[in-house]
């Protein structure tokens, strides 16, 4: 009698996906989308199982099986609960797509992962800009867990080189699977105008910055530059719309706080230019997302942004030293006055192909199959 073959389970941590997704949550949701595309085109030789929070919406995971974990993302309870869940499921592989780490102990111990694991480390932001607790976590737990991972991966060449130096490895030992863009829902002109009207915004006559208040995002400097810009141009200036609250108030500075996906898409579609002044990024998605939609981009002159926008011509991006407030003010004045060149259709197509969810899905599928010993 032939028994049915056991399909190995690959457990992917997705507990950070809840509410309005940002950062890691977007990365994991796009990974799910990429794996779903592969599943349509071919039968996967393993079963992706997403580890989720109790309030997760199953529709986020494209029909893949989910496994509920009570421990919040980065809560100490995950150190015991996740190995227990992996053991109960008889998981063949665990993927931590963030810096969340388990205890890399002998598999015979109940608090150790009972299977091989893949770790994706996006950047070393917390070593540069975090507090003592974050630095200790990275140096003691993350480094040990990443070192014993069957595969260590990251999302950009910049991060690969930086992580390799930190880990004492060769860059070639770290797999590069770039971040992914997700094509936005096509909004009608009326839907876009409705969102803009709520905030008294005029299409193509405002700056947009989709970011947060973490120090490396450098929004205080952008706010200072905007004040300088406003002093120069007066009432002819464009508003600056930011997806945060907590910056010093200034006429023309519109502080929205977190925005939904639909709001963000409408704001992006209507923007005259997107600004992104980060001091540091592992990848930096917003300027790449803006470029794909043909929105002029003003970006900080740092290696990850050059890498993400490598398919654009030099004149299709306005590069600014992130620490030069006066230069940012001049860039804003240039954009609202003479205007900036928008990315060409050919460049947009190249960017979209390079950072598609399909490429992300194929990249991680290749790594999963390597660890599981499954040939194509």
The model's pLDDT over 308-332, given as tens digits with 9 standing for 90+, comes to 999 999 999 999 999 999 999 999 9
Q: Report the 10 Å Cβ neighbour count for 233.
A: 15
Q: Angle 189-198/261-270 helices, nearest 10 degrees?
A: 100
- Flag whether pLDDT at 21 surpasses 80: no
Q: What pLDDT does 2 receive?
A: 47
Cα–Cα distance for residue pair 37/14, rounded to 1 Å: 18
**Chain segment 169-209, per-residue pLDDT in tens:** 999 999 999 999 977 677 889 999 999 999 999 999 999 99
**Chain segment 104-125, per-residue pLDDT in tens:** 987 777 789 999 999 999 999 9
Tell me the whole-structure pTM to 2 decimals.
0.93
Helix, strand and coil content of the chain, in percent to the nearest 5, comes to 45, 15, 45
- Under 8 Å CB-to-CB from 187, ≥6 apart: which residues? 262, 265, 266, 269
Domains and CATH numbers, the chain: 9-180+356-372 (3.40.50.2000), 189-354 (3.40.50.2000)
Q: How many residues does the chain have?
A: 376
State the chain's mean pLDDT as an integer. Answer: 93
Q: What pLDDT does 20 receive?
A: 65
**Chain segment 56-101, per-residue pLDDT in tens:** 888 889 999 999 999 999 999 999 999 999 999 999 999 999 999 9
Sheet holding 253-255, edge to edge: 253-255, 240-242, 207-209, 273-276, 297-300, 317-320
Q: What pLDDT does 3 receive?
A: 44
């Amino acid at each position: 009698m032939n028994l049915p073959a056991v399909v190995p389970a690959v457990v992917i941590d997705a507990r950070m996906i809840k509410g309005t997704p940002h950062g890691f949550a977007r990365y994991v949701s796009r990974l799910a989308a990429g794996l779903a595309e592969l599943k349509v085109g071919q039968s996967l030789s393993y079963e992706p199982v997403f580890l989720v929070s109790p309030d997760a919406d199953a529709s986020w995971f494209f029909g893949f099986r989910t496994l509920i974990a009570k421990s919040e993302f980065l809560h100490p309870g995950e150190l015991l609960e996740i190995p227990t869940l992996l053991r109960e499921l008889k998981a063949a592989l665990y993927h931590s797509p963030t810096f969340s780490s388990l205890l890399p102990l002998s598999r015979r111990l109940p608090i150790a992962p009972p299977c091989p694991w893949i770790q994706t480390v996006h950047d070393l932001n917390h070593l540069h800009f975090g507090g003592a607790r974050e630095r200790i976590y990275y140096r003691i737990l993350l480094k040990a867990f990443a070192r014993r991972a069957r595969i260590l991966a990251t999302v950009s060449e910049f991060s690969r080189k930086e992580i390799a130096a930190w880990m004492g490895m060769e860059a070639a030992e770290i797999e590069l699977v770039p971040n992914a863009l997700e094509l936005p829902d096509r909004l009608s002109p009326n839907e876009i105008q409705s969102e803009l009207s709520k905030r008294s915004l005029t299409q193509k006559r405002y700056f947009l910055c989709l970011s947060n208040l973490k120090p490396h995002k450098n929004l205080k400097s952008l706010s200072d530059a905007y004040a300088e810009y406003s002093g120069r141009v007066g009432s002819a200036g464009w508003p600056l719309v930011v997806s945060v609250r907590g910056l010093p108030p200034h006429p023309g500075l519109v502080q929205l706080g977190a925005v939904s996906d639909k709001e963000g898409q409408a704001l992006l579609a209507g923007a005259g230019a997107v600004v992104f002044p980060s001091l540091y990024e592992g990848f930096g998605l917003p300027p790449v997302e803006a470029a794909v939609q043909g929105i002029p981009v003003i970006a900080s002159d740092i290696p990850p942004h050059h890498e993400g926008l490598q398919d654009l011509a030099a004149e299709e991006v306005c590069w600014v030293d992130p620490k030069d407030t006066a230069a940012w003010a001049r860039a804003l004045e240039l954009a609202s006055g003479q205007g900036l060149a928008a990315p060409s259709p050919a460049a947009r197509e190249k960017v979209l192909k390079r950072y598609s969810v399909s490429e992300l899905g194929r990249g991680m599928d290749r790594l999963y199959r390597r660890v599981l010993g499954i040939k194509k």
